[in-house]
Amino acid sequence: MSNNNLIKGSLQTIILKLLEENERMYGYEITQRVKELTEGEIKITEGALYPALHKLEAEGLLSTEIQQVDNRVRKYYSLTKDGQKEVTSKMSELQGFVENLQRILTPGLKPGFNI
């Protein structure tokens, strides 16, 4: 599944979840991690990733750290305290949505699986 519209709606949750697991990451690393985890099925485009990162930073959910790496400057993103709280809420929101979607798509199936 590589429908960009479906991914866009969950992009913030994906970023927050990855940062919860990895402490700090830079933009390109996030795109590669998603590609690796989904075996290339989901590719986050730069067009969607960086605006989402900047928005989360402006909302105070992410903090940044600038570091010199191999003659260039790299910007690392990590979760703030508010960001850590937001992961839980976003995850349960997404889980609820997927369960409801499942109810619509397969009415006979009992909900209760995890994403």
Partner 1 sequence: MRRLSEQELDQVKRAIAAKDLTSAEILMEIYDHYISHLEGFESSDFERQLTELEEQWISSYCKKLQYDLEKSISSSLRSTQWQVIKSYFTWPRFIFTISIVVILSLLVNLLTFKAQILLLFGLPIVYLAGFALFVNYQNRERMSPIRNLLDKHVKKITSIFNSKLTVSIVFPLHFYNLFLNVPRLFGWTEMIPDSILNLLSIVFCFLMVLHSLSIYEAWKIKSKTALI
**Which residues in this chain contact partner 1 in the complex, by CB under 8 A?**
26-29, 45-47, 50-51, 54-55, 57-58, 60, 63-66, 68-75
Q: Are 10 and 97 in contact (CB under 8 A)?
A: no
Minimum CB distance to partner 1 smaller for 64 or for 89: 64
Find the shortest distance in angstroms from Cβ 48 to partner 1. Answer: 11
Find the shortest distance in angstroms from Cβ 9 to partner 1. Answer: 19
Minimum CB distance to partner 1 smaller for 8 or for 102: 8
